Copies of this chain bind each other. A is one copy, B any other.
């Protein structure tokens, strides 16, 4: 592996003392950037952008050029895993994903493609990674990601986004054994997929458990944590970050995972997280809506966050940046982090 010009993000993930917190934003490759909107506007839809690997690579690199972030994250979607397992979806404007079929029965689970056979279907993602690596030219590390097994099961059973994901939760309560079978298949697929991502050049992995927060502590410990554990164990060549949004109630369990870092959402006080981190690096956690505040306020709150987390921290928002966030606010956030040296 070529030496990265800026390896601050990786040094932090590896537990080294660093000069300042590295910074990137979840959904940084997206609508906040005029360059992204120009490309996206020329295409028929979100999924066309995933398929056009030259453009996917281009939008991945845009925030590095425009914002000066310390890491890029491959432009992709967590739902490529259900898709490669045989569950196609459309991304419907202003509504979100919509699946043409869902998991209803044991035969649906058995018929789902899984493992390496499924992951290899995602050649277009690996191609986008290779193209991105060329464009990045070792300036900053590239993050690869996957949805967590529970979150992906939730979509595969529910068939769309949902406020309650009550069909998916009903599945856990009514079909416990089948749920575990499906979670195992998803987990096997994720592991093969992430290994292929790493082979193709990503320098770190983030697992997004976006719907962690709608489970009870019991359900999370039964149906979510053990599968994330398997993934973290299998991915041992690059650092891993687990972001289980809303799962404060399982923070102690998350902190015991064999991963390098934990994502922290904006509901969590930084000091609360630090006390419970058990040596994990923490990533987060400014409220995305804070970026609507006046500039002085963004600066002040960003500095406060940096100071509260201290070392072993990757600066980020507590969730993906909202599409209508002013570009200047994002720049103020990034600049404030980059100007906040620990030693100063």
Q: Which residues of A contact B (CB under 8 A)?
A: 163-164, 166, 169-170, 172-174, 213, 215-217, 219, 246, 248-249, 266-269, 272, 287-290, 292-294, 297, 322, 324
Contacts and interface: CB of A to CB of B under 8 A. Distances in A.
Given A169-B289, A217-B269, 19 more contacts: A163-B163, A166-B288, A166-B289, A166-B292, A166-B322, A166-B324, A172-B289, A173-B289, A173-B293, A173-B297, A174-B292, A216-B266, A216-B267, A216-B287, A219-B287, A246-B267, A248-B248, A248-B249, A249-B267
A213 B289 contact: no
A180 B290 CA distance: 18
A217 B174 contact: no
A269 B249 CA distance: 8
A216 B266 CA distance: 6
A278 to B, nearest CB: 18
Contacts of A170: 289, 292
Nearest to A164: B322
B292 A173 contact: yes
14 contacts: A164-B289, A166-B289, A166-B322, A169-B287, A173-B289, A173-B292, A173-B293, A174-B293, A174-B294, A213-B267, A216-B266, A216-B287, A219-B287, A248-B249
A287 B249 CA distance: 14
A249 to B, nearest CB: 5
Q: What is the oligomeric copy number?
A: 2
Contacts of A246: 267
Nearest to A212: B267
A216 B305 CA distance: 13
Interface centre among A213, A215, A287 (most CB of B within 10 A): A287
Contacts of A216: 266-267, 287
Nearest to A265: B216
A322 to B, nearest CB: 6
Contacts of A269: 217, 249
A295 to B, nearest CB: 12
A287 B297 CA distance: 38
A213 B163 CA distance: 13
Nearest to A173: B293
Contacts of A290: 173
A290 B292 CA distance: 38
A116 to B, nearest CB: 34
A74 B325 CA distance: 41
A169 B292 contact: yes
A288 B170 CA distance: 10
Contacts of A267: 213, 215-217, 246, 248-249
A232 to B, nearest CB: 23
A170 B292 CA distance: 6
Interface centre among A169, A172, A216, A297 (most CB of B within 10 A): A216
Nearest to A171: B292
A268 B249 contact: yes
Contacts of A268: 249
A88 B297 CA distance: 34
